[in-house]
Structure 1
Amino acid sequence: MSGLATMDDSRALVIERLVGDSGEASHVIGAGRSMGERIVSPLQKRLSNEIGAQVSIELRTVEVSRTIDARSQAGGNFAMTVVPSSTSSDALTMVMDAQAVAVMICGLFGGDPDAAITPIERDLSPLEADIATLVFEEIAQALNGSGKRSLDLRFPVPRAMSGQEARRRVLRDGAAVRLVFGLSTPTESGAVTVMIPQRVLLTQRSGAAEDEEAVAKTEWQERFSEEVMRSAVTLEATMPLARMTLGDLARLHTGQVLEIEENAQARAQLSARNKTLFVCEFGKLGQNYTVRIKQPFDAGQDFIDGLMPG
């Protein structure tokens, strides 16, 4: 809780622990499948060409699950790591079963791909944990993505834990999507389980939706502004007449002639819908009266001029 910055974060955590922060199952599975399928090809190329492990990778399963079930299908010996991001301390929980570790050992160290692989029935050695960490790093790099839809994971990933440390590690409960990747040779196969909390997945997807909504909103504003610019308004030009007291105004009568101030013609104001736009000057061109725009109207200066008449 110490890492939560606001009451909203605390409230969201409490709600998640009580009812689970989850979305519609079909939407969550679709988003998870899209992420999983996207990384299979580049991950296969990375494992084969750059790391040198002659193994095949496939996306086996995408399903709605709980984060605490990450180890449920890994058997007694497995490697595990929890990868944080900028918004979550457990953005990815990855578990690699012993069979997958054995497959990677065989692939990395030149084992005969057609020969049977001896299963690992003990706690993983430090070297085997390092290999699992290498696989976790590659998967996390591929899943992280880039741009607005990035998970913003923190790298390098924490070193894989195994044995009692991995079995006793307390996982934060919550709704998640489970991605199961298969690592295999012609004779053996294992699995790497990736758990992505739905609160992380939904935040990523909602961020992308907000971007799309912002683009649509901008387009709508541009179209609306264009239509507004085409609308017609009535312009009014007014010329100041004279200054007088309320008493003088009360004594005005029908037929009385008022004198226009000497420079009033140069202090006309052009307005539309009761909003003054420009300071203008009255004139005449042939038989028609004209208004020549002098400068934009300055409401602040006009207020000061009203307080301190020239």
Structure 2
Amino acid sequence: MSSPASPAGTRSLIMERLLGDSGDAGQVIGAGRSMAERALPLLMKRLAEEIGAPVRVDLQGVEIIRVAEARSLAGDSFAMTIVASTISSDAMTLVMDAAAVSVMVCTLFGGDPDGPVSTIERDFSPVEIDVATLVFQEFADVLNGSGRRSLDLRLPVQRAMAGLEAKRHVLRDGPAVRIVFALSTATERGTVAITIPQRVILARNGADADAEDTSRWQTHFSQEVKRSTISLTATMPLAKMSLGQLAGLRAGDVIELGDMAQNHARLGVRDRTLFVCELGKLGKHYTVRIRQPHDEAQDFMDGLAPG
């Protein structure tokens, strides 16, 4: 059995085993890009209508990184929060740089969206942290999704960290995908980076694959059922007879049919009536023409009627 060539290689292998699975890079990036593209229109709508910030949201890029690198694009001043899910304590790490925080604060508090925006170069105030938290909530809520495609995030998000707290927070390392969105006005642009561990992406894709396999099996089974053959039975009602008359029947006797018997034939399968039909003849062949579906409730009521 071969072994890594160096202690660093051994450590990398152990960390990879302990901290999460990694999938094919192309598939992981494709999954992240699909998630981002589906979310983009709703993100723009939510920021404009729910928060009231007239900003533009663009997808800037999707890349493979390590979770520990989630803050690498943010510079010295940024806000960050980590969202847990049902399968991971760090299912999503959201990082918002100072330029993006400045854009959101400016537009939210009446600044001119077409005018210059001064980037915040100091520690964020409590109000600015609240604004970042509000933005993180909208991004997490939209990207979480619903149904089988949901990430099952535990929302609402925790209040954003900033300053030394955000810089010193230890991120559990492992392979991840980073989705970078740009928040911009006419003069300023900032970024919101979403980092999702590959183990979370792979678990979601696995659920999608299971759902696809189930759907494919259901379709196949339905088609096989539709191709199967069964025997149909058409029956026609006779005139009512007393038990005495029935006991007196002999071979060769002729039973008179009711006036509407031909129009009240029943078409059934395995003792279950499906349709009310009309018996007829076409050339040398007897036929059954379907008139209407069988109504069990009405049939029950007719059976209660006297006569």
Query: Which residue does the alignment assign to 1:159?
Result: 159
Query: Which residue does the alignment assign to 2:202?
Result: 202
Query: Which residue does the alignment assign to 1:147?
Result: 147
Question: Is the CA contact (8 Å cut-off) linking 1:57 and 1:184 kept in structure 2?
Answer: yes
- Which residues of 2 match residues 221-240 of structure 1 at below 5 A? 221-223=221-223
Shift of the alpha carbon at 1:229? 7.3
Shift of the alpha carbon at 1:45? 1.0
| Counterpart-to-counterpart distance in 2, 1:160 and 1:75 | 16
SS state at 1:137 partner: helix
Question: Is the CA contact (8 Å cut-off) linking 1:55 and 1:184 kept in structure 2?
Answer: yes
Letter in 1 for 2:41: S
Query: Which residue does the alignment assign to 2:128?
Result: 128
**Which segments of 5 or more consecutive residues in structure 1 lack a partner in the other structure?**
1-13, 231-310
Query: Which residue does the alignment assign to 1:235?
Result: none
Query: Which residue does the alignment assign to 1:244?
Result: none
Query: Which residue does the alignment assign to 2:78?
Result: 78
| Counterpart-to-counterpart distance in 2, 1:222 and 1:119 | 60
SS state at 1:54 partner: coil
| Counterpart-to-counterpart distance in 1, 2:134 and 2:29 | 27
SS state at 2:196 partner: strand
- Which residues of 2 match residues 52-63 of structure 1 at below 5 A? 52-63=52-63
| Counterpart-to-counterpart distance in 1, 2:185 and 2:227 | 64
User: Normalised by the size of structure 2, how large is the TM-score?
Assistant: 0.67
Q: How many percent of aligned residue pairs carry the same amino acid? A: 57
1:168 paired with 2:162, answer no
In structure 2, relative to structure 1, the CA distance for the partners of 1:117 and 1:223 (3 Å cut) is closer
| Counterpart-to-counterpart distance in 2, 1:222 and 1:118 | 62
| Counterpart-to-counterpart distance in 2, 1:95 and 1:186 | 22
Question: Is the CA contact (8 Å cut-off) linking 1:17 and 1:174 kept in structure 2?
Answer: no
In structure 2, relative to structure 1, the CA distance for the partners of 1:222 and 1:49 (3 Å cut) is closer
| Counterpart-to-counterpart distance in 1, 2:118 and 2:64 | 32
1:119 paired with 2:119, answer yes
* Alpha-carbon RMSD: 2.0
User: Normalised by the size of structure 1, how large is the TM-score?
Assistant: 0.66
Query: Which residue does the alignment assign to 1:67?
Result: 67
Shift of the alpha carbon at 1:115? 2.1
| Counterpart-to-counterpart distance in 1, 2:117 and 2:111 | 9
Alignment length (residue pairs): 218
Shift of the alpha carbon at 1:121? 1.0
Letter in 1 for 2:117: I
1:102 paired with 2:92, answer no
Shift of the alpha carbon at 1:217? 2.2
Question: Is the CA contact (8 Å cut-off) linking 1:15 and 1:21 kept in structure 2?
Answer: no
| Counterpart-to-counterpart distance in 2, 1:220 and 1:40 | 35
| Counterpart-to-counterpart distance in 2, 1:214 and 1:93 | 32
Shift of the alpha carbon at 1:203? 0.6
In structure 2, relative to structure 1, the CA distance for the partners of 1:203 and 1:125 (3 Å cut) is same
Deviates more, 1:211-220 or 1:83-92: 211-220
- Which residues of 2 match residues 233-252 of structure 1 at below 5 A? none
Question: Is the CA contact (8 Å cut-off) linking 2:62 and 2:177 kept in structure 1?
Answer: yes
| Counterpart-to-counterpart distance in 1, 2:37 and 2:227 | 44
| Counterpart-to-counterpart distance in 1, 2:227 and 2:57 | 55
SS state at 2:57 partner: strand
In structure 2, relative to structure 1, the CA distance for the partners of 1:19 and 1:101 (3 Å cut) is closer
SS state at 2:195 partner: strand
Query: Which residue does the alignment assign to 2:51?
Result: 51
Question: Is the CA contact (8 Å cut-off) linking 1:43 and 1:139 kept in structure 2?
Answer: yes
Shift of the alpha carbon at 1:76? 0.5
**Which segments of 5 or more consecutive residues in structure 2 lack a partner in the other structure?**
1-13, 231-307
In structure 2, relative to structure 1, the CA distance for the partners of 1:110 and 1:19 (3 Å cut) is closer
Shift of the alpha carbon at 1:154? 0.7
Letter in 1 for 2:177: V
Question: Is the CA contact (8 Å cut-off) linking 1:77 and 1:121 kept in structure 2?
Answer: yes
Letter in 1 for 2:22: S
Question: Is the CA contact (8 Å cut-off) linking 2:59 and 2:180 kept in structure 1?
Answer: yes
In structure 2, relative to structure 1, the CA distance for the partners of 1:15 and 1:119 (3 Å cut) is closer
Question: Is the CA contact (8 Å cut-off) linking 1:176 and 1:196 kept in structure 2?
Answer: yes
SS state at 2:178 partner: strand
Question: Is the CA contact (8 Å cut-off) linking 1:17 and 1:173 kept in structure 2?
Answer: no
